[in-house]
Chain A
């Protein structure tokens, strides 16, 4: 990701396949226009990529609208969180960035929220490409002039200079959570955001750092009765009073903040009855929802559990409207996956801009895309060897019985250390960003760059 000197100072506790643990990407997020892409890693760093704008001449030749080439280059890098220590509990607080969320842009500067397990920070990303020159009291290097040498007055002028990107922390929202923060979500009102940990959800005002409202608290009076935790939460994209949170039991709860200050009582509970025939030791683990996302329309919810991804209609609580098998061939391998801890992996899921395609990650650097209209899914691979710039991605297949074709990968030869957990889809175009361990892949659909329909 570019920060060679920094990585050498951070977390060399173990190296795997020449990948420093600190370089593993832990979150990916496009901003609202898709012009910027932010990634956070386990070392607490944030790297922001910017889409390059082509010159007008090239754009006309290629015939693309907007003049953007689709190439993302590094725009800025900064250290967002540092390793911390909770002295009271003698616990180390990881600096890993769990989530990044961009705020809607209101002026020339960009704002983003980044969070680790305990603390959320608001960062301001601004550009400076001019600097004033011609001060009367200071010379070019900034030293104060001797007044006696000043013989005439001049008005300072702004001269263009090399582009500088400055990132400054504007707010630090700390001490809001006892448990590990797993999600943040900016409200459509542009003033508030929520942060969710395992047992509580807090609502913050972006301008106030010393107070937050607790809107959901599922901590039982007796912790021995704990049966489920919150795994993800998100505000509705249009309605500023609605939010949804998912639990480790596979349920989703839609809450309306107009109903009360504390939203422990859900407005809607989305739960699919369990299939008793498929029960096993690990049924509870694989039913835990790892990610929940509202569709852009606000009508549907997308959830991901270990083996499937499901689309829910907000109007129907009794079950999902669509279920897609991501890697059903792993169902018979759950015990081994439990042993190597892979069963606890939290995959993310994303919608495309028109809500017609959903995407989620898998193992062996594979990720899956499902077309909701046809119900079909494809498997693609994010791997350096097979992805040359401008090469066309070919679909892959995992062989688990039946006719084996050339190029199929056997279930037993899947590499479970290469997992695609984090990804993002451009809000308007068919550009996707896939995080594969310490690499970021950006794929673009050249055939249909703009998303059509709906």
Chain B
């Protein structure tokens, strides 16, 4: 447990450092930012692996209900624009699902938002968390990862990075005011959204985090965790424009590190979809395995 708190704290610090490095005199120092991003990656990995181990142990029902709530507030959405994972409040009460089952590839509360039936959703959510691999007939994310539940490390690998919160047009169909907010917030084409998702999502989550129970807060994606109540200012300052320019300044190098941490590698994800993102993450097994060995 201490590792999780420590990892969370380190992640917040690292992001603060990366952000501050943009405004300091003399330009961005490549060496320092490389080191900070490595620390960020390790901390994030530990945080998520702790998170997942915690997830599997908790009661499914309790988890599922809480997750539903988190989902609603955390606006997780599928990369695939046609599917909306964000679950409206009605969803809990049995509103019909809009789309086919969606797969969430995400470190967040749930892997699957199966919108076919609420009951099914609720039941499957905790399970998929543990197994990670979003088993959805329609979507094939990270097919590599779809293996076995015991492969916790792989799961972490695959789900860690990406949450691409995409504002999808289906949001507008939702009745939930929060979803409505989401759709209003995320505008623009997919690539912008992909780049901006993190900051926007975090901004929203920041305010919503406070409403959640403290324990639940840790279950929200790492991205949102970065910007908890303590680092609100950082979150608010990082609007879309800043994130985009941050990526540009780094020459889309650290954008890989940053966006991978958050959710996708910018244009690549935009172009090719989640599947490719997963592939990219899987191509870099070493940092993950090393961190796993360490802890």
| B254 and A223 contact, CB distance less than 8 A | yes
A117 at the interface (CB under 8 A from B): yes
Given contacts A248-B34, A344-B35, are A89 and B27 in contact (CB under 8 A)?
yes
Q: Which of B10, B30, B251, B255 contacts A335 (CB 8 A)?
A: B10
The CA of A226 and the CA of B35, in the complex, are separated in Å by 11
B294 at the interface (CB under 8 A from A): yes
Give every chain A residue within 8 A of B184 (Cβ-Cβ). Answer: none
Give every chain B residue within 8 A of A16 (Cβ-Cβ). Answer: none
The digit string for A318-345, where 1 denotes a CB below 8 A from any CB of B, is 0000000000000000010011010010
- Selecting from B37-45, B233-241, B269-277, the interface stretch reads B37-45
Q: Which of A89, A198, A231, A339 contacts B13 (CB 8 A)?
A: A339
B180 at the interface (CB under 8 A from A): no
Interface residues of A in 199-233 (CB under 8 A from B): 199, 222-229, 231
Give every chain A residue within 8 A of B253 (Cβ-Cβ). Answer: 222-224, 226
Q: Which of B39, B43, B293 contacts A276 (CB 8 A)?
A: B293
B122 at the interface (CB under 8 A from A): no
Given contacts A180-B29, A335-B6, are A248 and B256 in contact (CB under 8 A)?
no
Interface residues of A in 352-383 (CB under 8 A from B): none
Q: Which of A86, A222, A223, A335 contacts B250 (CB 8 A)?
A: A223
The digit string for B33-57, where 1 denotes a CB below 8 A from any CB of A, is 0110011001100100000000000
Chain A residues with a Cβ closer than 8 Å to the other chain, count: 38
B290 (CB) vs chain A CBs: closest residue: A279
Give every chain A residue within 8 A of B13 (Cβ-Cβ). Answer: 338-339
- Selecting from A103-111, A125-133, A281-289, the interface stretch reads A281-289
Interface residues of B in 32-82 (CB under 8 A from A): 32, 34-35, 38-39, 42-43, 46
A91 at the interface (CB under 8 A from B): yes
The CA of A423 and the CA of B90, in the complex, are separated in Å by 68
Given contacts A223-B250, A229-B34, A231-B31, are A93 and B39 in contact (CB under 8 A)?
no
The digit string for B261-295, where 1 denotes a CB below 8 A from any CB of A, is 00001000000000000000000000000100110
The CA of A91 and the CA of B10, in the complex, are separated in Å by 28
Interface residues of A in 178-193 (CB under 8 A from B): 179-180, 182
| A92 and B31 contact, CB distance less than 8 A | no
Give every chain A residue within 8 A of B252 (Cβ-Cβ). Answer: 223-224
B10 (CB) vs chain A CBs: closest residue: A281
A52 at the interface (CB under 8 A from B): no
B137 at the interface (CB under 8 A from A): no
> What's the least CB distance linking B251 to chain A, in Å?
5
Give every chain A residue within 8 A of B250 (Cβ-Cβ). Answer: 223
A395 at the interface (CB under 8 A from B): no
The CA of A224 and the CA of B257, in the complex, are separated in Å by 7
Give every chain A residue within 8 A of B25 (Cβ-Cβ). Answer: 13, 92, 94
> What's the least CB distance linking A213 to chain B, in Å?
22
> What's the least CB distance linking A180 to chain B, in Å?
7
A79 at the interface (CB under 8 A from B): no
| A338 and B31 contact, CB distance less than 8 A | no
The CA of A140 and the CA of B31, in the complex, are separated in Å by 58
Give every chain B residue within 8 A of A417 (Cβ-Cβ). Answer: none
B214 at the interface (CB under 8 A from A): no
Give every chain B residue within 8 A of A341 (Cβ-Cβ). Answer: 17
| A198 and B31 contact, CB distance less than 8 A | yes
Give every chain B residue within 8 A of A222 (Cβ-Cβ). Answer: 253, 256
Give every chain B residue within 8 A of A86 (Cβ-Cβ). Answer: 27
- Given contacts A198-B30, A224-B256, A229-B30, list 17 more A-B pairs with CB under 8 A: A86-B27, A89-B27, A92-B27, A180-B29, A199-B30, A223-B253, A224-B255, A224-B257, A276-B293, A281-B42, A284-B38, A285-B38, A285-B39, A335-B6, A335-B10, A338-B13, A344-B32
Q: Report which A residues bind B (CB closer than 8 A).
A: 13, 86, 89, 91-94, 96, 117, 179-180, 182, 198-199, 222-229, 231, 248, 276, 279-285, 288, 335, 338-339, 341, 344
Q: Report which B residues bind A (CB closer than 8 A).
A: 6-7, 10, 13, 17, 25-27, 29-32, 34-35, 38-39, 42-43, 46, 250-257, 260, 265, 290, 293-294
Q: Which 9 A-B pairs have the closest CB atoms?
A: A224-B256, A223-B253, A94-B26, A279-B294, A91-B27, A198-B30, A284-B38, A285-B35, A229-B31
Can you list 30 contacts pairing A with B, beta carbon distance less than 8 Å? A13-B25, A86-B27, A89-B27, A91-B26, A92-B25, A92-B26, A92-B27, A117-B26, A117-B27, A182-B31, A198-B31, A199-B30, A222-B253, A223-B252, A224-B253, A225-B256, A226-B254, A228-B34, A229-B34, A231-B31, A248-B34, A276-B293, A279-B293, A281-B6, A281-B7, A281-B39, A284-B35, A335-B6, A335-B10, A339-B13
